[in-house]
Amino acid sequence: MTASLTLWLSLVAAAAPAPGAPPAEPAAAEALPAETWVRAKTAYDDSDYRRAIELYRALLEQGHDGGHLHYNLGNAYLRNGELGRAIASYLSARARMPRDGDLRANLEFARQSARDAIAPPEPPPLLATLFFWHFALSRAELAWLVAILNLLLWSGMGLRLWRPELPGARGALALLLVLLLGTGGSLAVRYLRPARTVVVVPQEIPAFTAPDAESVIRFKLHAGSELQLRGRRDGWLRIALPSGEQGWIESAWAAVVET
Amino acid sequence: MSRDARAVVRPAVALVLLTLLAAGGARAASLEAEIDRNEATLEDRLVLTLTVTGSGSAEPTLPELAAFEILPAGQSKQWNLINGRASTSVSYRYVLLPLETGEFVIGPAVVEIDGERLASQPFSVRIRAAGAASGQQRDLFLTTQLSTTTPYVGEQVLFTWRLYRRARIADARLDPFEFDGFLVEDLGEVREFETRVNGRTFMVSEIRKALFPQERGALVIPATRLTCEVAQRNRRRSNSVFDDMFGRATETKVLRGDPLQVEVKALPDSPPGFSGLVGSFELESRVSQTEMQVGESVTLTLEVSGRGNVQMIPEPPLPELAAVKVYDDKPGSSIKRQPSGLSGSRTFRKALVPQAAGRLTLPPVRLVYFDPAADAYRTAATAEIALQVLPAEGAEELRLTETVAPSTGKVAVRILAEDILPVYAGIDGIGGPARPTPAQLAAMLLLPLLLYLAALAAARRRHRYRQDSGLERRRRALARARRQLRRIGSGGGNTTEELSRCVRQFVGDKLGLEGAALTAADARHHLTASGLQQDRVDEVGGLLDRLEAAHYGSAGISENLPEQIADLLRRLDRQL
């Protein structure tokens, strides 16, 4: 067991970005964000994917959080052969720009390379149809929509105080209230109970029956597998397969993405 | 029996029973040890029963039994009433699995009951090698075997486990194999076949696995235990339904293979470009066509096949090709799990799109692997491939798709290569749309609500003013009077007349009267009628009198009179 763990840990280390040669250019932290962005794109075009990853990550660490930044990072990971991290970056990008066609195509392409035949955690079709706005809008879009609907609702209510007989006002206000409740509820769910997906990063990892490396190995997972997160405990993640089977994996072996 | 007689007999019987039970409970405690046999082989299992008789129920402590593996097999409790004496006994059963041969003394088991320390009688057990019990050849045994005990790191080692049997067995339970330090690959299902050993025919069950050591040094594969029920020959029929599973008596046997020692050797210093593969491998390449136009796609296929750690086959590095665009396709793999070991192949496909006309040579692709049979690194290489690139027809520079079935009007489009879409280049991609913080969002949600509440309050006030026309006048009387007093204080005009008008206006506003027309007497009258305290009425009347006197006569007024009036009006505002 210990030897097997050593092997898996070495795989984890292999999957993590290794420190590259010191760059000749100024450090990413010192450069302007736009400069780092352009330099990362140039590195990507020159097939220096490790350098591109380094620069895109530096932008993320500086607090930039655009959907295209995650998307580009996903591309660089995928070109560098890091399937799990690529899928995790694409999922992060999808949370920020859920209707982007390029992103959808690349995520689909990356998923084809995953070894495990595990369907990614997606909402049931009926739920996705009924609450389409919840899945079709990013959190930022949802927040702005709620703010605008809220402003319209209370403005309309205020207008009725002075013009109570305004034609169609009652129906319009009722519709605004329904829309506000729907989008507001969706936003509350996004903030309070965000869906989290676990993406396996190393080539192969074991899933144990308990959060203990000495416990029985229930099944094995491979890079790029996407699973539901059911809980966390002391550096361990409790994950579930679509069939309902559950297991524990070390959190260092996976990327947790808020989707 | 009369009712009186029954009343006497029942307590008497109960008393006798209680006495008997008390006598039984008081009986001296004891500990007895019993074993089902004193002679056994390494394949047998012995059942040790420890019986504690007495009032206590503490489990006995077993003696030191280093030569046996001990498995608890449950306990049973009995209560007996014999010849008027009651006794309770608890029997603890243990299964002993012999680990070595020899004569062993099973020492006393001990238990402490009510402060008394009891010990069982020691006895001896003789354990012999399997098959030596009656001088017969063995009908049931197992073997474990490795293809090599000195492999290199990453080399394929075949592990073979076999169960030979001539007797009928049932309920076989095999403990899981432990291969710490190895990557393990199954080599198919359990195989069943017949073989002859020393002229005797055996049925053999065989399990094979491919092991790949992951670290250098000494590794041990522990012995695996198989427990099964074996039908007994030439034995008196048992009357027990449970013993007679096959129509004859059965016996539980525990078989163990030998632990296997493996000394893993490190690989020699690797040459540049070592792929990590250990075994024997071949590399082949082929192209879909040798003649194409500029911009036309040709598929290069690289196939690595062989025997060894084939699941780790990496992509062979393709040499740099000038004026050729290369697109990767998804690799395919085929792994065969045969009793002879793990073998297979991995195929890598690339779409090559020449960018210039002329002769194009694809240099050899090389793969370096370690061959343990030769104790040396070897290089597999493909042959050089020559391509003829013709100038493109028309202006199209690059065609990623081509059509099939050109004879009909519409044609299907065949996708020649899959690839990811490019990165986003716009600078705006860094940050994305602004996302409001929770505090900003809360402000955006609350502010319209607060504004609405303010508007609601204003609307309600307006409504009340409409319902009661004097209300607004009453409520605003003090503010109006204060404004007038400030204006008077800033100078100009006939001060006493202005002050008088201000006070009368205030009283008029509060009482719903025309203030300018009020005299001091009118003011007294209306204020008294409104229920104001008399001294306050007098204060107002006196003030108006003084102002009138000052206005028409020579009487002066104090400089701080406006402040006094403001104070009086504030008090009046509260009381009116």
Put simply, the answer to whether B445 touches A146 (Cβ < 8 Å) is yes
- Domain ranges (residues) in chain A: 17-112, 126-192, 196-258
Q: Which class is B17-128 in CATH?
A: mainly beta
Inform me whether the pLDDT recorded for B48 exceeds 50: yes
Do B17-128 and B140-264 agree at the fold level? yes
CA distances from B463 to B459, B467, B476, B480, B573 (A): 6, 6, 16, 21, 23
Q: What is the pLDDT of residue B546?
A: 84
Angle CA(B197)–CA(B202)–CA(B205) in degrees, nearest 5? 115
Pick B418's closest partner by Cβ from A41, A72, A109.
A109
The class that CATH gives domain B280-403 is mainly beta
The verdict on pTM exceeding 0.80 is no
Inter-chain touch A150–B215, beta carbons under 8 Å: no
Beta bridge partners of B262: B219
CATH number of A17-112: 1.25.40.10
Average pLDDT value for residue range B331-345: 87
The ipTM assigned to this model is: 0.76
Q: How confident is the model at residue B86 (pLDDT cuts 50, 70, 90)?
A: low
Provide the pLDDT for residue A9.
32
Interface size A-B, in CB pairs within 8 Å, comes to 114
Binary contact (B430, A141; C-beta < 8 A): no
Which chain A residues touch B423 with a CB distance below 8 Å? Answer: 41, 44, 71-72, 75-76
Domain boundaries, chain B: 17-128, 140-264, 280-403, 469-575
To the nearest whole Å, the CA of B62 is away from the closest chain A CA by 29
pLDDT (average), residues A233-249:
92
B432–A68 C-beta distance less than 8 A:
yes
More confident residue, B176 or A197: A197
Share of chain B above pLDDT 70, in %: 83
Task: Sort out which chain B residues have CB atoms less than 8 A from A7's CB and list them.
Answer: 183, 214
- Please say whether the beta carbons of B140 and B255 come within 8 A: yes
What lies within 8 Å, CB to CB, of B442 at 6+ separation is none
pLDDT value, residue B17: 45
Tokens of B195: 């073989």
A196-258 adopts what CATH topology? SH3 type barrels. (2.30.30)
Bridge partners, A148 (sequence order): none
How far apart are the C-alpha atoms of B561 and A71, rounded to whole Å? Answer: 79
B248-257 residues labelled b (16+ CB within 10 A) or e (exposed): ebbeebbbbb
Could you tell me which residues come within 8 angstroms of residue B41 by beta carbon, excluding any fewer than 6 positions away? B98, B127, B128, B129, B130, B131, B132, B133
CATH 2.60.40 fits B140-264, yes or no: yes
Q: What is the tens place of the pLDDT at every residue in B450-509?
A: 999 999 999 888 888 888 778 888 888 889 888 888 888 776 555 788 888 888 889 888
Predicted confidence (pLDDT) per residue in B127-171, tens digit: 887 765 444 567 888 889 899 999 999 999 999 998 888 878 888
Query: Considering only CA atoms, which of B266, B347, B285 is closest in space to residue B310?
Result: B347
Q: Is residue B86 within 8 Å of residue B80, measured between CB atoms?
A: yes
In this structure, what token pair is assigned to residue B314? 């990496």
Compute the average pLDDT of residues A119-132. 89
Asked whether residue B38 carries a pLDDT value surpassing 50, the answer given is yes
Between chains, do B448 and A143 touch, taking CB under 8 Å as contact? no
Q: Indicate the pLDDT class of residue B9, thresholds 50, 70 and 90.
A: very low
* Inter-chain CB proximity A34 and B427 less than 8 Å: yes
